[in-house]
Amino acid sequence: MKSTQDNVEGKRFAAEQAARLIQPGMVAGIGTGSTVAFLIGALGRRMRDENMTFIAVATSFQSRLACARLGIPLRDMQDAAHLDIAIDGADEVSPELDLIKGGGASHTREKVVAAMADEFVVIVDESKLVDRLGTSFPVPVEVVPSALSYVERRLRDLGGSPVLRTGTGKDGPVVTDNGQFVVDVRFDPATDLRQIDRAMHETPGIIETGLFFDLADKALVAGGGPGGPALKTLVKAR
């Protein structure tokens, strides 16, 4: 069984390799999460050691603060319509490079940034690879708070089992950077999630889902080996 320490080292290794993809002068989307934290650290070291400069467009307050602490220049999302590259983690990655994201409740902004980019690169350890989306992780859905009851009913009508995500360190639900709630929804493994995703996007009160279809161009996947972490690159079939 893969250890927690192996997962940490795999994330660090994948993030450090991904940091080399950002070239001087680029405007780069920077995602959110534990793997991206390693990416931001690696980019800070490149700026310091190589005098490399680029502009970051962060998908969350957390990533924005981490970049600012390292002196990485930032541009607000609303001031960016195009990115050279975007790099982010994922909670699940299918063989087709479709994703479930939103473990950090930033999937709406992450999806906008991914869509802006000429190239969207996912960095994960091999534990995030699944044969079919929804195998181990629920689908996060960002919801307008006043529509919560209606949306939960609609999600149950679609065959889902919705659970409002609650915070740690505070009472009550998780509130996203957009001021909304997150409902985590499990569906039967045989469910056609593309069809469900279309239905969710037609539901008033749903802001965005954590299903990322046809957005990722490449995945850098770190795995363990006798000599330490090894990297495998998966490329979207065209």
- Per-residue pLDDT tens digits for 137-193: 999 999 999 999 999 999 999 999 999 999 888 889 999 999 999 999 999 988 999
Residue 2 in this model has a pLDDT that exceeds 50:
no
Of the listed 110, 126, 152, 208, which one is catalytic? 110
Q: Can you tell me the mean pLDDT for 54-82? A: 97
**Annotated domain spans of the chain:** 4-129+213-235, 139-210
The mean-pLDDT minimum among 18-32, 68-82, 182-196, 219-233 falls in: 219-233
* pLDDT score, position 230: 84
Tell me: pLDDT of 128 over 50.
Answer: yes
> What is the tens place of the pLDDT at every residue in 21-49?
999 999 999 999 999 999 999 999 999 99
pLDDT of 107 higher than 70 = yes
In the predicted structure, residue 1 carries a pLDDT above the cut 70: no
Mean pLDDT of the chain: 93
Query: What's the whole-number mean pLDDT along residues 206-229?
Result: 89
Type of residue numbered 51: N
pTM given for the model: 0.93
Homologous superfamily (CATH) for 139-210: ACT domain (3.30.70.260)
* CATH class of the 4-129+213-235 domain in this structure: alpha beta
pLDDT value at 57 more than 80: yes
Catalytic annotation present for 142: no
Question: Averaged over 214-228, what is the pLDDT?
Answer: 86
